Structure 1
Amino acid sequence: MAGKKSLLIVLSLVLFSSCGIINIRKSGGSAEMYSNYSEDLRSTRIQFEPLPDPEDSDFESETDAVPIDQELSQRIDQIIRENDKERFLNGFTILIYSGVGREAAFELRNEVYSEFPDIQTYMEYEQPRYLVKVGRYINKIEALATYEKLKSLFPDSRIISDRFLKDQDQQREEEEKIENAER
């Protein structure tokens, strides 16, 4: 009962104030009242020591600087050797099908072959599912162009991150092994 009373009082105050019966004034004054206001904030600011004069520095001339070209070349060669040791590349591919139906996977792969003969299609088996993937791309932007072509025929397709062998011949041999094992 007390809650209803307080709610009624609040609603009536709002109603009367909007009608102009009760005039609620704002605190403060006009902007002119504060036109001469100023405050000194120097005591709260962080103070830094002055920077040293460049002429007084012990740094020697630019002719004494040693070029790092040799070190840079060595590091670049080291990175290249490390990358050559890596057998796999991280990239992107377009997943057309993921399911347990072997025949459905083969049909979909053949449909992609017939509709888009210029696009490379791969079929993988990760127990218990078959995956039909299209293309191998280093950047996602490269995959988007092919994805735009495919999505009208294959609306469930999507771009996924993938990892594949660097050497295409090794990849083809592995795929042939998979196909031969499935037959």
Structure 2
Amino acid sequence: MTLEKKFLWALHLGVIILSGCSRKAAVSSLGSDYNENLSAVRPRFEYVEPVVGKKSEAPAAPVNKPAPAANLDKPLYINKKLDTALDTMARQNKAIRYINGFRIQIYVGNVRQEAEGAKTYVYQFFPDLNPYISYSQPTYRVKVGDFIYRSDAEQYLELIRDQYSSAVILPDRVDIKRSLMVSLPSESN
């Protein structure tokens, strides 16, 4: 490197160091002269001196006034609102007829007589289970029961497999009222 290049490098380095050490011209909030008159927007209150030591001419007689009706009705008002909300919820719950549950599919095939035979078998041996036949051309499907819990359906599945070995449990929409009427096989013995 030549002497001129070294000198230029030293000069640039010196300028950078001196500029880093110099005082910055920054706006400081400590010495600012900010002034704003807010008296126009401030609220004003008039002070009234209380009168002490003066007696009124009329003696203060106790007045028996009945309690306001609003205070007595307030708890009842809350109870009425609560009763209304509970009645609404009860009506909505009664309107719900179906829930996700399980059914046992005992027959799938093309022969209508066999589907009817499966339905008759369920009526004879499991009167508390309701059979459902669906037909989607050319297949008949026979499903039985309205079970909310899979474990309940599994107990019946063991008994049904004696006659229908291909029976399986499938998820389905079930009628809530009918599902509550199904008794477990262990309870009916």
TM bracket, shorter-chain basis = 0.3 to 0.5
TM-score by length of 1: 0.43
Q: Which has the larger radius of gyration?
A: 2
TM-score, length of structure 2 as denominator length: 0.42
